[in-house]
Amino acid sequence: MSLWVDKYRPRSLDELHYHPELSSRLRSLAASGDFPHILFYGPSGAGKKTRIMCTLRELYGPGVEKLRIDQRVFVTPSNRKLDVNVVQSNYHIELTPSDVGMYDRVVIQDILKEIAQTQQVDLNAKQRFKVVIINEADALTRDAQAALRRTMEKYMNNMRLILCANSTSKIIAPIRSRCLLVRVAAPSDDEMTKVLQHVAKKERFSLPSPVTKSILSTSQGNLRKALLVFEAMKMQKPDLSGDIEVAKPDWETYCSKIADSIIQEQSAQRLLDVRGKIYELLSHCIPPTVVLKTISERIVDKVDDALKPQIVHWAAYYELRMRMGSKKIFHLEAFIAKVMTVYKQFNMIGYTEDYE
Amino acid sequence: MAPTSKSFSSSSSSRKSTLTSSSSRSTSSSTSKSKSASSAPTRKMSNMSSFQPTLNFKPSPSPSTSTSTSTRKDEEDRKLMPPPPPGTKPKPLVSPPKSTNGKGKSREVIVVDDDEDEDQGLGSNGLTNDKAQMWTDLYAPTTEAELAPGKARIAKVKNWLHESLFGYPFDVPPPPGNVNRDKLRKYKRILFLSGPAGVGKTTTMRLLCQSLGVEIMEWGESVEERSLGGGIDRESSISKFSSFISRHSYPSLSMSSQHTSSQSSATKPRLILLTSLPNLSHIPTREAFHSSLLTFCQTFTSLSCPMVIIHSDAGSGGRAEESWMERDRGGREGSLEVLGREVRDGPWCQEIDFLPLAPTFLNKALLRVMQIAIPKAVDRPSQATVQLIALSSNGDLRSAINSLQLVCGGRKDASKGKKRKSRGDDEEEDGPKKRGSGKGSRGGKGAKLDVSKDLRAVLDAVTRKEQSLNLFHALGKVFYNKRLDDPNMDDEDEEVLERIRKLPPEKPLPDHLQEFSRRKSLVQIESFIPTIPIDASSFALWIHQSFLNYCNEIEEVSAGLDELCSADVMRTDDDIWQSSTQAISYALHLTVRGTLMSLPSPVPRRSQKVVKPQFFESFRLERDNTSALDHVAGYITRKGVAAGNAFADGGPSDVVGVWGGTVNKRVLAGELVPMMVKIQGLSGHPLLPPSAQSLCLPPYSTFSFRSNTELTVKDEPDAEDEYEATAAGDDGLGNVASQSQEWDEDMQDKDKEEDWLMEDDIDDWD
């Protein structure tokens, strides 16, 4: 059994449900024989990787789907061994160099050089070049990006890069200018509905519109999440009728409960309870920035309009400090304590002082 | 037998001490100050990593040949050595046994760490006596009863030795037959003794070996080979080590035992003793070391001998402002780093941890040494002096004895003139003499001793150690936030109060800053900060964990947390490129001062407890879960790739997920795994590997997260936790190794269960 997300993932550009102009542009690029380096960017769950794989299939045919996993060992100048897992076919290779943290430059240099210096072996291959997919390109260090920039020019003959990122803001300008930027926007509600209905049709049931609505409101333009939630809901209640609880990830429920308890009571003891929960979230690998964001969103939903800007202000303030500091818990807790203080004072005197 | 084997290790170390004595003399005036127990291991490690001396272990040949070989070898060495600095006599190679007692132990101190070299140099500069012998060497314990560590610990070590050598516990009559003996011996392969320097690990070991009649095979290191340049054997230290182990795990061949004329050395049990370890911060060396230990454990025959590893870890005293980076370099290894995971968690290994000695134990040992060393009771320093030395040595017996020797030596020199008088002072000048320095009025028991000011000054100069408060007291000082004119000030130290009262009054703050006005704090920051027993960031964690309980209002909590945040942001030492010790010290000040500022005054007393930070536990869990997540990522990718391939091969298209490729970790943790757990639970179809179990959040409850261990006065901060804190500040690279391990497992599993991945598939990219 596989998830609907995987099962109904489009495999060619024709099957894609939305952004038709983008699909046709990609198709003509693949046909032109003058394929550029491409930087795909857009929010999570918008379909970047799906489009990348479809493009590859357009370029090379179904052979590109014959994959294998390979483990490469790289040695840093300080003699540290790095293991990087790559997924590759005969025509492309996919890697996530940011996995190795600050040593990503070594990985980038080594692997690109290796690929760039070997010619395409398969004589029947449609293209003379191979494709390197670099995931999480916005998480690459500056060094790695600089290394990338050099190789991009040098090895244009044998290799094309496809970068995948959430935003272009962390990618250095030289790379941005050497790539064709392709923005994959999050699907609109209509487009999401279309996809959900397509899946429902394939699974042979009908999708009631209240369910669609609740799925859309939780998933906020993230199609992957929408499909996961959809599948879980279908499992919960196969006829999808009446009131169904939206199947959210547990940590989201956690965060909103934390937000509730912050609003309920503002005391040191309550903060201690909340601390336990935050530790629980952090120890389950939920990124602290996501925790902070989710909690503050929930709180903003629930407080008086006069307080909203303050909450957002402090969320931003502590998120910045969290990025600079090293002990995330301090900053998360300081944020919560600050929110409690602000909320308490607001309730006591009915208004709030101007912040900062 | 045992003494001869030691002579080899000493030949290298005595050379070492000859070398260092020249440098130590030039600095001899400052030696006494710089001698702190905690700095010694750090220095040692940095030495090792900077030039990484070639390790050299001397095989111990059979006794009859040993003397000649050793002399010859040493002759050679001496030719290669630079001439000794004038004034220092080269030490005799095998010191003539002065007494049967002394000879067995005379060298142990030298081998253990570099700390002694300085002392040795100091001694040979004629500060004390003609023999230039340290009391630690001369008057080492000779019977088990005289050993300083606790009885239970010694018995444990003894039992282990006995079991590993003879196959049955010490106090049990030998079982009949040989078969079941090996059964027990097989799992008693490595004993790992750890503990701070100078608590008697090595001494205990050697004494017990002597009493059990065990021959010790020791591996030591030599410094010179490297600096002498080419022509010298270039075998890498670690390969030497593994050959050393393989050579010595078995009794000598009959060939060599022919030479041992009368003695039946073949029947004498042997034991491998490791006191100096290879440079474990070098990763290949560490890996090789671990693997040779593992081989050692796994290859057992009834003839092979056990191994004892003695590792002195750094104490926790006086390290408040040390940065994490320094500690990385400074030999922060726990048993895991030294032994490797397989060995440590395997059945072969036992760890016995020695604790710092309690002052009473130290006192006893010091008195014993003094009684032997100074026959006349009149010449001995007063009881109080000994007690003070014992208290100020932070549980390090060796340094306590060294201090004692220095004090007594000084006394002898001065004895011509004013010894009488000063001794008179000791007894007469009574009354509470408090030290002006940062000793805690509550925590440091030293404050209560009746010792004259003069003597204290002498002792300060001689035995100056960084006094550190117990963690509990250090935290208490912050949390109770005592200020001048608090209610219930009766039990306060009048002298301190007086001094604080005398401070000039502060100018009153303007109206708009009134919220910041406080009464004078009783915590004297300048003297308090250096006495914090743990590093700045761990201290912040402890503060963070408990200070909420001492607040009344959320506003105070918020203000305090803000200060902790600022300190955390400032403390950039986890950033490799911007490491700055200054920032750490600022951060510590900010932590302490900020907390004091934001706590209410007086602090409410409702029997709050100081608990261990949850951070450590949470961090450990997070690390475990990260590796579980990596495992899941590998699993999903593998499944996706397999499905994709099956599809490409023309498999049924409607059931497979056609996704190959890696998954973003954030997406995995935040979206995929939680939802897959849900769907899996509802459908009953397994989607995730069992290792994902730990990634599920427990149900939300109003109860607290985990029960916390309370900190009491006696607790010492956990060294391992500090290590965790170090790793937490890392950029996550600490996980790289474990991650790849997970993947390795995957690859193996995959080979087993799915045959589509062929060996030759891997390389056909090019």
Of A206-215, B200-209, B710-719, minimum mean pLDDT range: B710-719
Query: In this predicted model, what pLDDT tens digit does every residue of A91-139 receive, in sequence order?
Result: 888 888 877 877 888 888 888 888 877 776 666 777 888 899 999 898 8
Asked if the Cβ–Cβ distance from A341 to B558 is below 8 Å, we say yes
Residue B84 reports pLDDT greater than 70: no
Q: Where are the domains of chain A?
A: 4-183, 189-236, 250-349
Residue A4 reports pLDDT greater than 80: yes
Residue B548 reports pLDDT greater than 70: yes
- pLDDT for residue A184: 93
- pLDDT for residue B51: 40
Token digits of residue B11: 């030949």
Residue B171 to residues B32, B163, B168, B175, B201, Cα–Cα distance (Å): 44, 10, 9, 12, 22
Residue B429 reports pLDDT greater than 60: no
Looking at the complex, report in whole angstroms how far the Cα of residue A190 sits from the nearest Cα belonging to chain B: 22
Is residue B553 domain-shared with residue B437, that is, in the same domain? no
Under the banding of pLDDT at 50, 70 and 90, the label for residue A329 is very high
Is residue B241 domain-shared with residue B336, that is, in the same domain? yes
- pLDDT for residue B732: 34
Asked if the Cβ–Cβ distance from A326 to B574 is below 8 Å, we say yes
Under the banding of pLDDT at 50, 70 and 90, the label for residue B751 is very low
Is residue B18 domain-shared with residue B53, that is, in the same domain? yes
**CB of A220 less than 8 A from some CB of B:** no
* Alpha carbon distance, N-terminus to C-terminus of chain A: 55
Kindly state whether residue B436 falls inside one of the protein's structural domains. Answer: yes
Q: Which domain holds residue B415?
A: 359-463
Kindly state whether residue B237 falls inside one of the protein's structural domains. Answer: yes
Q: Can you give chain A as a three-state secondary structure string?
A: CCCHHHHCCCCCHHHCCCCHHHHHHHHHHHHHCCCCCEEEECCCCCCHHHHHHHHHHHHHCHHHHCCEEEEEEEECCCCCEEEEEEEECCCEEEECHHHHHHHHHHHHHHHHHHHHHCCCCCCCCCCCCEEEEECCHHHCCHHHHHHHHHHHHHCCCCEEEEEEECCCCCCCHHHHHHCEEEECCCCCHHHHHHHHHHHHHHCCCCCCHHHHHHHHHHHCCCHHHHHHHHHHHHHHCCCCCCCCCCCCCHHHHHHHHHHHHHHHCCCHHHHHHHHHHHHHHHHCCCCHHHHHHHHHHHHHHHCCCCCHHHHHHHHHHHHHHHHHCCCHHHHHHHHHHHHHHHHHHHHHHCCCCCCC
Residue bearing tokens 């490129």: B577
Kindly state whether residue B615 falls inside one of the protein's structural domains. Answer: no
Is residue B649 domain-shared with residue B566, that is, in the same domain? no
Residue B433 reports pLDDT greater than 50: no
Residue B753 reports pLDDT greater than 60: no
Of A16-30, B330-344, B607-621, minimum mean pLDDT range: B330-344
Under the banding of pLDDT at 50, 70 and 90, the label for residue B351 is confident
Mean pLDDT of B721-732: 39
Looking at the complex, report in whole angstroms how far the Cα of residue A118 sits from the nearest Cα belonging to chain B: 6
**Neighboring chain A residues of B657 at a CB cutoff of 8 Å:** 2-3, 5-7, 9
**CB of A181 less than 8 A from some CB of B:** no
Q: Which of B548, B641, B683 sits opposite A271 (nearest CB)?
A: B548
Under the banding of pLDDT at 50, 70 and 90, the label for residue B2 is very low
Q: In this structure, are strands A92-95 and A81-88 parallel, antiparallel, or unpaired?
A: antiparallel
Mean pLDDT of B34-44: 40
**Neighboring chain B residues of A68 at a CB cutoff of 8 Å:** 641, 645, 757, 761-762
Mean pLDDT of B232-253: 62
Kindly state whether residue B622 falls inside one of the protein's structural domains. Answer: no
**CB of A172 less than 8 A from some CB of B:** no
Mean pLDDT of B193-212: 82
- Give φ, ψ of B326 to 5 degrees: -60, -40
Mean pLDDT of B606-612: 81
What CA–CA distance (Å, rounded) separates A321 from B569? 6
Asked if the Cβ–Cβ distance from A287 to B669 is below 8 Å, we say yes
- Residue of B494 and A130 predicted with greater confidence: A130
Under the banding of pLDDT at 50, 70 and 90, the label for residue A240 is confident
- Residue of A290 and B22 predicted with greater confidence: A290
**Neighboring chain A residues of B643 at a CB cutoff of 8 Å:** 2, 6
Mean pLDDT of A146-151: 86
Residue B218 to residues A197, B3, B207, B222, B438, Cα–Cα distance (Å): 76, 11, 15, 13, 43
Residue B58 contacts residue B107 (beta carbons within 8 Å): no
Under the banding of pLDDT at 50, 70 and 90, the label for residue B212 is confident
Under the banding of pLDDT at 50, 70 and 90, the label for residue B572 is low
Q: Which of B675, B702, B747 sits opposite A71 (nearest CB)?
A: B747
Mean pLDDT of B693-700: 78
Q: Which of residues 68-87 of A touch B (CB under 8 A)?
A: 68-71, 79-83, 85, 87
Kindly state whether residue B605 falls inside one of the protein's structural domains. Answer: no
Query: In this predicted model, what pLDDT tens digit does every residue of A154-180 receive, in sequence order?
Result: 888 888 899 999 989 989 999 999 899
- pLDDT for residue A244: 76
Is residue B93 domain-shared with residue B151, that is, in the same domain? yes
Is residue B314 domain-shared with residue B456, that is, in the same domain? no
Is residue B383 domain-shared with residue B348, that is, in the same domain? no
- pLDDT for residue A206: 86
Q: How many domains does chain B have?
A: 4
**Neighboring chain A residues of B683 at a CB cutoff of 8 Å:** 1, 235
Asked if the Cβ–Cβ distance from B554 to A281 is below 8 Å, we say no
Is residue B147 domain-shared with residue B59, that is, in the same domain? yes
Q: Which of residues 494-553 of B touch A (CB under 8 A)?
A: 537, 540-541, 544, 548-549, 551-553
Q: Which of A95, A115, A337 sits opposite B557 (nearest CB)?
A: A337
Mean pLDDT of B561-587: 73
Under the banding of pLDDT at 50, 70 and 90, the label for residue B494 is confident
**CB of B744 less than 8 A from some CB of A:** yes
Best residue in A251, A326, A339, A353 for a mutation probing chain B (most B CBs within 10 Å):
A326
Q: Which of residues 258-317 of A touch B (CB under 8 A)?
A: 266-268, 271-273, 275-277, 279-287, 290
Residue B108 reports pLDDT greater than 60: no
Q: Which of B674, B682, B687 sits opposite A250 (nearest CB)?
A: B674
**CB of B287 less than 8 A from some CB of A:** no
Q: Which of A65, A257, A324 sits opposite B700 (nearest CB)?
A: A257
Top-ranked range on mean pLDDT: pick from A75-79, B265-269, B327-331: A75-79
Is residue B191 domain-shared with residue B76, that is, in the same domain? yes
Is residue B96 domain-shared with residue B215, that is, in the same domain? yes
- Residue of A268 and B650 predicted with greater confidence: A268
Mean pLDDT of B51-55: 40
- pLDDT for residue B646: 74
Is residue B347 domain-shared with residue B382, that is, in the same domain? no
**Of B323, B353, B383, which residue constitutes the final position of a domain?**
B353
Residue B279 to residues B224, B339, B727, B735, Cα–Cα distance (Å): 16, 13, 20, 22
- pLDDT for residue B507: 82
Q: Which of residues 556-575 of B touch A (CB under 8 A)?
A: 556-558, 561-562, 564-566, 568-569, 571, 574
Under the banding of pLDDT at 50, 70 and 90, the label for residue A289 is very high
Kindly state whether residue B216 falls inside one of the protein's structural domains. Answer: yes
Residue B434 reports pLDDT greater than 60: no
Classify residue B395 as left (phi > 0), alpha (psi -120 to 50) or beta: left
Interface A-B, measured as beta-carbon pairs within 8 A, has a size of 286
Asked if the Cβ–Cβ distance from B615 to A279 is below 8 Å, we say yes
Under the banding of pLDDT at 50, 70 and 90, the label for residue B612 is confident
Architecture of the domain spanning A4-183? 3-Layer(aba) Sandwich (3.40)
Please state, rounded to an integer, the average pLDDT across all residues of chain B: 64
Residue B273 reports pLDDT greater than 90: no
Mean pLDDT of A246-270: 89
Query: In this predicted model, what pLDDT tens digit does every residue of B9-34 receive, in sequence order?
Result: 444 444 444 443 444 444 334 434 44
Residue A315 reports pLDDT greater than 50: yes
**Neighboring chain B residues of A265 at a CB cutoff of 8 Å:** none
Residue B667 reports pLDDT greater than 50: yes
Question: Length of chain A, please?
Answer: 356
**CB of B740 less than 8 A from some CB of A:** yes
Give the percent of chain B with pLDDT over 70: 51
Residue B559 to residues A340, B478, B570, Cα–Cα distance (Å): 12, 15, 17
Q: Which of residues 613-672 of B touch A (CB under 8 A)?
A: 614-615, 617-619, 621-622, 625-626, 629, 634, 637-638, 640-641, 643-645, 647-649, 654-662, 664-667, 669-672
**CB of B687 less than 8 A from some CB of A:** yes
Supply the Cα-derived Rg of chain A in whole angstroms. Answer: 24
Q: Which of A118, A225, A231 sits opposite B671 (nearest CB)?
A: A225
In this structure, the number of other CB atoms found within 10 A of the CB of residue B485 comes to 11
Under the banding of pLDDT at 50, 70 and 90, the label for residue A311 is very high
Is residue B551 domain-shared with residue B448, that is, in the same domain? no
Q: Which of A5, A101, A329 sits opposite B615 (nearest CB)?
A: A329
Residue B511 reports pLDDT greater than 80: yes
Asked if the Cβ–Cβ distance from B704 to A272 is below 8 Å, we say yes
Residue B223 reports pLDDT greater than 90: no
Of A39-53, A67-81, B161-175, B228-242, minimum mean pLDDT range: B228-242
- Fold classification of A250-349 (topology level): Zinc Finger, Delta Prime; domain 3 (1.20.272)
Under the banding of pLDDT at 50, 70 and 90, the label for residue B385 is confident
Residue bearing tokens 């936030």: B481
Q: Which of B541, B569, B679 sits opposite A324 (nearest CB)?
A: B569
- Residue of A242 and B310 predicted with greater confidence: B310
Looking at the complex, report in whole angstroms how far the Cα of residue A117 sits from the nearest Cα belonging to chain B: 9
